[in-house]
Amino acid sequence: MTNLPTPANPLRIGTRASPLAMAQAHMAAAALIAAHGLEMAALEIVPMTATGDRIQDRALAEVGGKALWTRELDAALDAGTIDVAVHSLKDVETLRDARFFLAAMLERADPRDRLVVREGIAAQTIAELPHGARLGTSSPRRAAQVRRLRPDLEPVLLRGNVATRLAKLAAGEADATLLAAAGLERLGMHDIGTVQTADLLLPAASQGAIGIECRADDAATIALLRAVDHAPTHQAVAAERELLAALGGDCRSPVAAHAQWQADGALRLDAEIFSEDGADHMTGHVIVTDAGVVSGLGHRLLADAPPSIRRLFTP
Residues with Cβ within 8 Å of 307's Cβ and at least 6 positions away in sequence, in order, are none
Active site residue 91: yes
Can you tell me the distance from the alpha carbon of 211 to that of 307, in angstroms, rounded to the nearest whole number?
Answer: 34
| Of 284, 285, 272, nearest in space to 312 by CA | 272
Residue 182's closest CA among 162, 200, 159? 162
Q: Please state, in angstroms and rounded to a whole number, the distance separating the CA atoms of residues 160 and 138.
A: 9
At 206, which helix (H) or strand (E)? Answer: none
Distance between first and last Cα of the chain: 42
Catalytic residue among 53, 74, 83, 91: 91
Paired with 285 in beta bridges are 270
Q: In what order do the strands lie in the sheet with 255-261?
A: 255-261, 267-274, 281-287
Question: Which residues participate in catalysis according to the annotation?
Answer: 91
